[in-house]
Amino acid sequence: MTFLEFTEGPMFYFAAALFVVAGLWRLVGIVRLGKKPDLAPARGSAATGFLKGNLRHFFPRGLFAQRTWMHLLGGYGFHLGLFVLFFFAAPHIAFIEKFTGLSWPALPRWGFIIAAEIAFAGLIVLWVRRFSDPVMRLISDWDDHVGTWLTFIVMLTGCLALQEAHDSLRAIHMLSVNIWLIYFPFSRLMHAFTFFLSRGATGANYGRKGMNP
């Protein structure tokens, strides 16, 4: 078994299984926490508040937008760029098709390059703000920086792996992906799946009280 076969085979299966199991364990644990019963009479819909709480936070209020425009720009650039790379890069579509049989049109090479540049720029902006802004520096710890650098390495090795003639580059990319998958559910990277729960819980609380989230 070659190193590439190992990283795309047994190691990937282990990392993916741990990612799913540990991720579901954390999500179920959060949901099972529940909340204290609210004895006050309902003045609105908690379900509507849950939905509004999620949608409303995609667009910051005017005052906050002025103060955090760099974070907003970097955040949207990174997350949208990464979404496009993950789902529309030709190698990723081929990898998904290998395991699921599903396939869809891929980005042209120039589209991949643009999406990658936007994602890299956004991630770098977010990381620089994390240690340059006094408040962000205080609330950040090693987990935030490790998650950022692991994501950066996954993206960088992925771009290098486009040289498909070099199996070693592809194997290094898969190794970094597997490490990222293992680290993900035990870190703040889990916010990719939990943000809608936290936003929704706040929105449901406000919605039940008849307030605008």
Model pLDDT, residue 48: 74
Q: Answer whether residue 107 is part of any domain.
A: yes
SS3 content of the chain, % helix, strand, coil (to 5): 80, 0, 20
Q: In Å, how far are 27, 29, 96, 211 from 21, measured between CA atoms?
A: 10, 12, 19, 37
Specify if 213 maps to a domain. no
Q: Which of 172, 160, 162 is nearest to 109 (CA)?
A: 162
As for how many domains the chain has, the answer is 1
Domain containing 169: what range? 3-33+42-208
Residues of the chain with pLDDT under 70: 34, 39-40, 42, 44, 46-47, 54, 61-65, 164-165, 207, 210-213
The answer to whether the CB of 39 falls within 8 A of the CB of 209 is no
pLDDT at 79: 93
pLDDT score recorded for residue 32:
82
CATH number at residue 147: 1.20.950.20
Predicted pLDDT at 165:
62
167 part of a folded domain: yes
